[in-house]
Structure 1
Amino acid sequence: MSSTAFSPLSRIARPLSLQRLATPEYALTLLLALGGLGAAQPLHAAEVNASTPSAEEDVALQKVTVTARRREEDAQDVPTPITTLNGATLEAQKVYKVQDLQQVLPSVNVAYVHARQSSIAVRGIGNNPASDGLEGSAGVYLDNVYLGRPGMAVFDLLDIEQLELLRGPQGTLFGKNTTAGVLNISTRKPTFTPERSIEISGGERGYFQGKGTVSGGLTETLAGRLSAYRSRDDGYIENTYNGDDLNGGSREGVRGQLLFEPSEDFSLRWIADYNAEDSSNGSMVVYGAPQRYWDRAALAGATPHRDPDDKKVNINGRQSVSVHQGGSSVEANWKLNGGFTLTSISAYRYWHFTPANDESLDVAAINNTGVEVHDRQFSQELRLASPTDGAFDYVIGAYVFNQNLGNKTFTDYGPQADLFLSGANTGIFNNVYSKANGKIETDSFALFGQATWHITDRLDFTAGVRGTYEEKEAKVERFAPVGGATLGPGLQAVRNAQLGAYDSGELTQHNAAPSGLLSLSYRFDDQLLGYASLAHGEKSGGVNLAVASAPVAGAESLLVGPERANDAELGFKSTLLNNRLQLNANLFWTGIHGYQATTLYQAPGSPNVVQVLANAGSVRSRGVEFEASAAPLRGLTINVNGSYNDVTYLSFKDAPCPGEVATAPGAPASCDLTGERVVGASKWIGNLNGEYTWRLANGIQPYVNAGYSYRSEAEGTLDNSDLSTIDGYGLVNLAGGIRTDLGDGQLDASVWVKNATDTDYYLAAFAYINGSYTASVGQPRTAGVSLRYDF
């Protein structure tokens, strides 16, 4: 493509909004227009990811550079458990959604229903149901910006440079403190050398994805990058009520960047992005239920499907999720006198989630229910990094984070609500509409630093410290119910107890938390690094943004205390066989105190038991993790990682009882799960992937890629019900294709199949009405083709 084919400057001179850019037709036009900004030099896939090795170095693993310690380092030199995946690997394995990351990462569980009901757990810590007034135990960062809600990461992984998973408490180097780990996602920067690519994929059940990227120099000191995508599919859950397919829909997004480098001593990177989703995600099948659920469903005249593996529901209401999110960040780096580097990262993000969900029946019991969320956040981080050529180096920083979140919880009860919810037509719920609002503002301030003393050429001692102070102000208000029958005093009192007006007043919480790290590493030789570390991390408390126990137990029952983690690591990293093999392994032990989880509350003399997020007790996570990468022969690369993770409650005496117990006559108010497994944590996780590439004449490169991911069974819900246990499963993903020079670029044509064995599996389970459980169904076998052109 020559620069005379388009008039790019006229196309980019007009002001653009993120929403306009997110329109696929406009974004694609702009991508093609910007493609003419630089000379049309060929850009091969190998040139995007690494320089072409010489014949002598051809059979060797590529060096991986990470920024886990806020400096660019070889991953094999960082004395902490860290897994890295580059963008080329994600693209080759067709991993483009956050919920698919557990197929390629060790010790990771992703519970996914929809953007709000999603969570990332590391080493079994972090699999709590969505709570709008509480941060996750595992932090997610996008281009060095902390994402305050897990759902902010639920978009297509577009134009990714690298993904890093750090396990264990983090805080002495990252802006926000976390107790379980960090998922650090970096996108590709603007380049002064022209880069352009376009890719189109299509597959079964209406799957389509189109995406493209253009990057290049605008002036001698200014470069730009623009990436856009649009994905859609029909879904794979059949609604037999009307024949619709659910758990499908569309997603689209755009990211624009500018990189200003007036000299070698200063750079400024501006990023703006917008993502939208309009889907029926969140549609779940009935996974398991006691007899009471089936009896009351029949009493209401409903016929729900019983076998979850059929991937069918029978619902008469609407299933819909709408998500709009975006933000902007500016990162500036100055190289100061003496080798110091000063970094500033300023960011703003917003997230708007709107659901419309039926319950699980084909009759009007609950017509619509859900939680709408509006969230916006601002963060500012400053870091100063010392030079690294002496016996002592350090990074110090300051962090400020502000978040304003509001939610609206709503339920529209239908004329069959009483029969389904209580088994008798009392009129308490029938045709009633209930709404509650919650809001919370969080202000977080932190100072942090980490220093390394190079005691000898081989021995390093690292110490880190962090001080965090957080303030949270919240309020929960439930409005008087609307509609329904006029009731007598007795039944009206029951309705008021369940749905009556309530105002918590202003709730406040203050928390000052220390974090720390001590680490010792020793390089036995150029091929072997050993390390040991002790770390302490804390996650601040939160507020339940739902009425829950407050009308009876008081507003203070909505407050949740902090979660504290103590962690010990012992591991090694090795590079063997002339850089053909990398083998890393580590042992870990983590104790969690004040584990934040969903528990039960029952007021004295009341028959009602309500769920409330609180500090459940103590949890222990221990195990072993390993990773290996090998290049045994020319063109072949093999990656394998895995973990054994024993995660148990050391103390959880007031846990919710499983549905099969809670619905039985004379059921206890709570159960003791001390010594039992923690929800969502598979003991065994293993991931294997291999790619083989042939290099034929005339630049032709056929290739095959195969991956296998295994997870052992896990507790599906926090009550450890037998009805919600998620069985272990293994997934096979296959791909094959050919890369070849075409015109001024390189064409990559491939065929692929995900979940090749069509295994039934589930991403999350959820405690529901009448002791039942619903589950989010994993993607069935899906085959497709992709065409990519880099030019």
Structure 2
Amino acid sequence: MSPQRTQNDQRFRARISKPLAVSRLAAPDYALTLLLALGGLFNSNAALAQDVKKTSAQTEQTEAQTDEAKLEKVTVTARRREENVQDVPTPITTVSGATLEQQKVYRVQDLQQILPSVNVAYIHARQSSIAVRGIGNNPASDGLEGSAGIYLDNIYLGRPGMAVFDLLDVEQLELLRGPQGTLFGKNTTAGVINITTRKPTFTPERSVEISGGERGYFQGKGTVSGPLTETLAGRLSAYRTREDGYIDNQHDDRTFIGGEREGARGQLLFEPNEDFNLRWITDYNQEKSTNGVWALYGVSDRFRERAALIGGNPQYDPKKREVNIDSDQAVNVWQGGTSLEANWTLGSGHTFTSISGYRYWHFVPLNDTDLTDAPALIHGGVEVHDRQFSQEFRLASPTGGAFDYVVGAYLFNQNLGNKTVQEFGPLADLFLTGVNRNIFNNATSQTNGKIETDSYALFAQGNWHLTDRLDFTAGVRGTYEEKQARVHRFDPSGGAPLTGPLAAARRNQMGSLDTGDFGLHNAAPSGLLSLSYKITDGLLGYASLAHGEKSGGVNLVAPSAGFGSDSLVVGPERANDAELGFKSTQLDGRLLFNANLFWTGIHGYQATTLTTNGSSLTPVSVLANAGSVRSRGVEFETSYLPFQGLTLNFNGSYNDVTYLSFKDAPCPGEVSTVNPTAVCDLTGERVVGASKWIGNFNGEYQWRLGNGLQPYVTAGYSYRSEAEGTLDNSDLSKIDGYGLVNASIGVRADVGEGQLDASAWIKNATDKDYYLTAFAFSNGAYTASVGQPRTAGVSLRYDF
């Protein structure tokens, strides 16, 4: 039997014998029908499965008796080969799929509740971003990559919104902090979140799970996996989620931040011998929701005046979890992709890997953009259609000698188009300008943008084992990237006929404009130097220096009057990073404690914001290199198994993120509404979205009562301190610190040929009011994305 097949079978046996946590999902009828149909393919292996389970139970019982109270070893692929995470000299946090299920974490926006140094800014799938160590807090910009990269089964996701779906059938999630440009496909300056899903198994494996909770929450999922032939295994997973939402509308009986999500993932694993395996994955996800509703968070005097002028009645208190809007609100997302990964072990002991991936993402919004019940800004939103293809080749040398290495090549192509539509009502002029001149009233504006990105890279990294305990690592990567873009704004439709100066004013704000083709290209080096020393068998110390670069960006909006397409281009973002840390395994494997100091300097920090200049009557999106930024601090994480049945995990960070130079920053709304031409200096101020203190705790205690009964309780607490809400550091947009409490209680029992898990759970047990991110809005006001209120529910899962 091949090592891969053995590993898959061991994972299955471990899931049957060890505590299983429950996440919340509800499979659609067609998905369950398909799962049951495919389940029939594995019935011929039922007898074999029963024998395996009996043998597995005996094996696990023996292992438990001889190896009690010891934490499991965690394997990662951070250096593109399988290694014990405690042997990798870089800060890595790993979260198993079982832990995600146990903590009821199934959305990307909830990852900051379990990961150190992570902030997630989320409004909806397009306006989402992930920051690591305070770097990467950018609202949506379709021509700009994130500072923190997201990978799904070794495929880079070109848009952060491609990760906004229910986390389904996850094997492990890894967070790598600091620049990761040497070995990962796209250069990143802040870090990487690497998500790995469970592979097909050559042992039959099936699970079904349903959950229900408050506010119409219902979720279900199912998985079936097993052999199709002696050399081919398959896996199919599906989910469906629906919920009513938790933000009520005063204008009518609608409730927002709810909707439906569904998806499926199918896989085949071909393994004819120990030297070759081929894994094919395809997935599809769909969302139809009312996400994207902003609550007024910080309100300027200008906004209050304009709202009164049009007779609007906004909801000014976000803690009531209410809004007052009269237009449509919807978000539709269709996305999916396919990938093919092949691994050959050559006669020389080298491993050659090829990873091909294609993904698409289609986002369609419909938003009320004045947040009042008056007809001013009826609809605004940006539709995005994105397609990407990537190809990676890697060659990894055998290990065990004095030197080992990984070399490879990577290419990435992305085609993205967007369409921005603004539909103005009869009171638009009064709301936007305070004077009714019929410039915007009843008009509709449309702008189309497109960008094509081509990226090519060569990389290499080597490890010199200078002694049995001392290792030196060096890595280098060269990347060349081109971006070609075009922005076309059409003449407005509708509106009153105008002549003279008023017609000129309308043309200035909304008239036809075509930038023609423009873009950028750049070559970027990345590098890594690392020295690690195994002080004792259970203690590893390390120090490293790294350089990473993220390519320049393009703003796909019409340039402000008087500015050409050059104003829409920003240069690359460059990061220099230093790390000093240790990893320790103590108390006979019952305690893991890791900590590190870090210092990162960012030059040309890329940022987007909403601002008003002297020639514009409406807010415009600005993309700029925001000077230089320094991020420094300390991180730690620990896992402790004080005795059999009790597992405790704790991680945290202190992060000081400051603008070292940002002299031409946008001014906050309380200043820009008084002086639209003002320019502010944020040098020495804190960077947007970065909490200084972050701490996450979770634990589980499980009793073993015999007869297959395993009662358990889990608890989790997540805290983050206050943060600046928007790039302009307005007092109106600061995000208060908050702590969230989650808990569950349940029992696992052997039923039939499988294990039944029934639990009751609660999220945000104290019903804390909290906000994920803030956003600059019209007339100097600020909006916020409201966090989920207290939600209780029950889950039922059966693994067999």
TM-score by length of 2: 0.94
Contact 2:509–2:616 (CA under 8 A) maintained in structure 1? no
Hey, what does 1:705 align to over in structure 2?
714
Hey, what does 2:650 align to over in structure 1?
640
Unaligned runs of 5+ in 1: 1-21
Hey, what does 1:66 align to over in structure 2?
76
Answer with 93-102 or 31-40: which moved more. Answer: 31-40
Hey, what does 1:34 align to over in structure 2?
38
Deviations 1:98-149 (A, max 9, x none): 0000000000000000000000000000011110001100000000000000
Q: Specify the code of the residue in structure 2 equivalent to 1:688.
A: F
CA distance in 2 between partners of 1:228 and 1:46 (Å): 30
Contact 2:509–2:617 (CA under 8 A) maintained in structure 1? no
| 1:582 partner SS | strand
Contact 2:610–2:777 (CA under 8 A) maintained in structure 1? no
| 1:380 partner SS | strand
| 2:627 partner SS | strand
* 1:139 corresponds to 2:149: yes
Contact 1:599–1:655 (CA under 8 A) maintained in structure 2? no
* 1:624 corresponds to 2:628: no
* 1:501 corresponds to 2:515: no
CA distance in 2 between partners of 1:44 and 1:378 (Å): 41
Contact 2:141–2:608 (CA under 8 A) maintained in structure 1? no
CA distance in 1 between partners of 2:719 and 2:620 (Å): 36
Q: 1:686 aligns with which of 690, 695, 700?
A: 695
Q: 1:737 aligns with which of 743, 746, 749?
A: 746
* 1:514 corresponds to 2:525: yes
Hey, what does 2:796 align to over in structure 1?
787
Structure 1 pair 237–701 and aligned structure 2 pair: CA distance change class (3 A)? same
Hey, what does 1:363 align to over in structure 2?
374
Q: Specify the code of the residue in structure 2 equivalent to 1:304.
A: P
Contact 1:600–1:670 (CA under 8 A) maintained in structure 2? no
The 5-angstrom pairing of residues 541-560 of structure 1 reads 541-549=552-560, 551-560=561-570
Hey, what does 2:705 align to over in structure 1?
696
Q: 2:767 aligns with which of 758, 767, 771?
A: 758
Contact 1:599–1:654 (CA under 8 A) maintained in structure 2? no
Q: 2:259 aligns with which of 249, 264, 270?
A: 249
Hey, what does 2:410 align to over in structure 1?
399
Q: 2:781 aligns with which of 756, 772, 779?
A: 772
Q: CA deviation at 1:27?
A: 1.6
Structure 1 pair 605–738 and aligned structure 2 pair: CA distance change class (3 A)? closer
Answer with 669-678 or 37-46: which moved more. Answer: 37-46
CA distance in 2 between partners of 1:602 and 1:208 (Å): 43
CA distance in 2 between partners of 1:77 and 1:253 (Å): 36
Q: 1:408 aligns with which of 406, 409, 419?
A: 419
Contact 2:490–2:513 (CA under 8 A) maintained in structure 1? yes
CA distance in 2 between partners of 1:758 and 1:235 (Å): 15
CA distance in 1 between partners of 2:300 and 2:612 (Å): 22
Deviations 1:671-693 (A, max 9, x none): 11010000000000000001000
Hey, what does 1:482 align to over in structure 2?
493
* 1:574 corresponds to 2:584: yes
* 1:225 corresponds to 2:235: yes
* 1:595 corresponds to 2:599: no
CA distance in 2 between partners of 1:628 and 1:71 (Å): 24
Q: Specify the code of the residue in structure 1 equivalent to 2:279.
A: R
Runs of 4 or more, structure 1, over 4 Å off, are 42-48, 599-610
Q: CA deviation at 1:548?
A: 3.3
Hey, what does 1:153 align to over in structure 2?
163
CA distance in 2 between partners of 1:739 and 1:630 (Å): 23
* 1:561 corresponds to 2:565: no
The alignment-based identity, stated in percent, is 73
Structure 1 pair 358–57 and aligned structure 2 pair: CA distance change class (3 A)? same
The 5-angstrom pairing of residues 277-292 of structure 1 reads 277-292=287-302
Contact 1:44–1:746 (CA under 8 A) maintained in structure 2? no
Contact 1:553–1:603 (CA under 8 A) maintained in structure 2? no
CA distance in 2 between partners of 1:479 and 1:463 (Å): 52
Structure 1 pair 408–755 and aligned structure 2 pair: CA distance change class (3 A)? same
Q: CA deviation at 1:311?
A: 0.4
Deviations 1:274-320 (A, max 9, x none): 00000000011100111110111011011001111000000000110
Hey, what does 2:17 align to over in structure 1?
none
Q: Specify the code of the residue in structure 2 equivalent to 1:683.
A: K
* 1:434 corresponds to 2:448: no
Hey, what does 2:731 align to over in structure 1?
722
TM-score by length of 1: 0.95
The 5-angstrom pairing of residues 44-63 of structure 1 reads 53-63=63-73
Hey, what does 1:96 align to over in structure 2?
106
Q: Specify the code of the residue in structure 2 equivalent to 1:526.
A: D
Hey, what does 2:23 align to over in structure 1?
none
Structure 1 pair 607–235 and aligned structure 2 pair: CA distance change class (3 A)? closer
Q: CA deviation at 1:423?
A: 1.1
Q: CA deviation at 1:598?
A: 2.6
| 1:339 partner SS | coil
Hey, what does 2:324 align to over in structure 1?
314
| 1:26 partner SS | helix
Q: Specify the code of the residue in structure 1 equivalent to 2:92.
A: I
CA distance in 2 between partners of 1:157 and 1:602 (Å): 39
Hey, what does 2:684 align to over in structure 1?
675
CA distance in 2 between partners of 1:526 and 1:287 (Å): 53
CA distance in 2 between partners of 1:504 and 1:420 (Å): 29
| 1:309 partner SS | helix
CA distance in 1 between partners of 2:270 and 2:120 (Å): 37
* 1:105 corresponds to 2:109: no
Hey, what does 1:125 align to over in structure 2?
135
Q: CA deviation at 1:730?
A: 0.1
Hey, what does 2:220 align to over in structure 1?
210
Contact 1:563–1:596 (CA under 8 A) maintained in structure 2? yes
CA distance in 1 between partners of 2:620 and 2:489 (Å): 16
Structure 1 pair 45–628 and aligned structure 2 pair: CA distance change class (3 A)? farther
Hey, what does 1:7 align to over in structure 2?
none
Q: CA deviation at 1:552?
A: 1.2
Contact 1:548–1:612 (CA under 8 A) maintained in structure 2? no
Q: Specify the code of the residue in structure 1 equivalent to 2:693.
A: W
Hey, what does 1:270 align to over in structure 2?
280
Q: CA deviation at 1:488?
A: 3.0
Structure 1 pair 333–529 and aligned structure 2 pair: CA distance change class (3 A)? same
Q: 1:448 aligns with which of 454, 459, 466?
A: 459
Answer with 721-730 or 539-548: which moved more. Answer: 539-548
Aligned CA RMSD, in angstroms, stands at 1.7
| 1:106 partner SS | coil
Q: 1:468 aligns with which of 479, 489, 494?
A: 479
Hey, what does 1:530 align to over in structure 2?
541
* 1:176 corresponds to 2:186: yes
Deviations 1:48-94 (A, max 9, x none): 9x956422321111110111111111000000000000100000110
Hey, what does 2:15 align to over in structure 1?
none
CA distance in 2 between partners of 1:604 and 1:706 (Å): 53
Contact 1:274–1:326 (CA under 8 A) maintained in structure 2? yes
Deviations 1:473-524 (A, max 9, x none): 1000101111111123111111111111111010021110000000000001
Q: CA deviation at 1:411?
A: 0.3
Contact 1:405–1:440 (CA under 8 A) maintained in structure 2? yes
* 1:583 corresponds to 2:593: yes
Q: Specify the code of the residue in structure 2 equivalent to 1:720.
A: N
Hey, what does 2:432 align to over in structure 1?
421
CA distance in 1 between partners of 2:428 and 2:401 (Å): 71
